[in-house]
A and B are shown apart, each in its own frame.
Chain A
């Protein structure tokens, strides 16, 4: 039978100074671990939360992202008249040829400049993205060199408030409104008229086409048609699927989280080990007494491993609370596909916190195993004679 848990708890409390140091050390490791994963989760959510399942996004065959894609006007015209394309109440085809360009803008915090993704789009493009809403000012008017920026981007870049300007190639765009992308990838964009964008940046071609087929059957037919038409050399997929795949930015962060987590957890394991070795050393006589009373070596091992796990688990809980401070915090990072600043929110979810606590308990168990084995191997008589 195991020793009562209160024995472990009270020992942790009695040695509160070293316990506290271990708890805080492990809390820091777990907090960093969770926050980094929360960052990757936020980036993934930003991509995953983008698009409409009824829309199809078309890019050049072989392009992984809109920013690296070119779609000719001829191809656009071919798509425009396809029977699968839905029409609005004015009998206009619901299709938007869009231009993606990168401009640089100064960061608000003075830490230099960063790329901002400018999307040139048509009024149909706005209809196709109902998750984006205007929150300040008004929408841009074609031909007036106007742009609307996302409000999250506006918080990160100087001069992005309504009335400010964006430097765009040889000209400047007046910012006339701010939009909310509803936590989607559009929160990292500034929008202007598509033809104006082509004119400013002297682009003969578009970057991508966003289209709404008539219905699900038409969507499937359209995708098949585009993919199979050798003249088009285009790739079509559901808009939501396209964005769900745009998680490359989160990958390096996940790798960093894992590497950093491993390196820090190694340190935390040694911290826990140190605490538990000290605990075993100061309780040698106690261990001898327990053995004399009939407690087995296995019980002694379990006792110290449980104690290490408890201590570290508590550290993990504190780490979770610390990481929660970052939940919802809006930040930006470089999108490794478009090389523009991408804005996301840290997402500290319950499953991440559970993972953090499990991680901390694993640290505690790993750190206390050797001290526990040492405690169990102590010869009973010499343990009894310990000071």
Chain B
């Protein structure tokens, strides 16, 4: 059904071992996120918001509990299935952009498509469309070090979009940007949720950034605060 949650998190626990100590990062979190929502995960450092994002995106495994994304229990996938699942279903945006420095903007955006069966011409069309969407068609052949921080983050968003995933996860996407670039990036993410049917989950410390979302979830000590 259209309004079924795209993400269903139930009793999620994540415990890290640090020396002889067990550190509880998430302590029984349950949350539903509907399609096309733009959810901001907020909270102080160590509250577990990034851990929650990583578990939803399938780049970490929970200690207990379930994460269903589009009905798939992410924790049950093996390493290789998880890699394929991430490639097809999740787009990632990082605080530090995480572009490959030796590749151009175009080549960076094309990377996730190299894992698909698409022909070269189809890949080219999709990359150009994604870069057009973030307003960077004219800079596609520049390497990351030839782009501003805001432009690099827009390339990263294009890379996150290019496989047309249902879910976009963003970890502090404006953390390294000036106010103007941060606003541009937030408008793009907002438009993705509003007009392109994407579900966006974003970790942020910045209330201004969170204000672009449809909902904010506050975490404290590994639990969702009331």
Contacts and interface: CB of A to CB of B under 8 A. Distances in A.
A30 to B, nearest CB: 27
B214 interface: no
A10 interface: yes
Interface of B: 54, 57, 59-60, 79-80, 83-84, 86-88, 92, 94, 96, 98, 100-103, 107, 111-112, 114-115, 159
A20 B54 CA distance: 39
A263 interface: no
B100 A289 contact: yes
Contacts of B84: 294
B87 A293 contact: yes
Contacts of B54: 381
Contacts of A288: 98
A293 B59 contact: no
Interface of B is mostly: helix
Interface residues of A, number: 24
B114 A1 contact: yes
A231 B87 CA distance: 88
7 contacts: A6-B107, A285-B98, A289-B94, A293-B112, A294-B84, A294-B88, A384-B94
B54 to A, nearest CB: 6
Contacts of A7: 100, 102-103, 107
A10 B83 contact: no
B83 A296 contact: yes
Contact of B114 (A3, A14, A291): A3
**5 A-B pairs with least C-beta separation:** A294-B87, A10-B102, A289-B98, A294-B83, A293-B112
A232 B141 CA distance: 86
B60 A381 contact: yes
Contacts of A291: 83
Contacts of A380: 59-60
A293 B92 contact: yes
A380 B90 CA distance: 15
Contacts of A295: 83, 115
B91 to A, nearest CB: 9
Given A4-B107, A13-B102, A14-B102, 18 more contacts: A1-B114, A6-B103, A6-B107, A7-B102, A7-B103, A7-B107, A10-B103, A286-B98, A288-B98, A289-B98, A292-B92, A292-B98, A293-B111, A293-B159, A296-B80, A381-B59, A384-B59, A384-B98
Residue among B79, B101, B111 facing the most chain A CB atoms (10 A cut-off): B111
A288 B88 CA distance: 17
A263 B54 CA distance: 47
Contacts of B88: 294
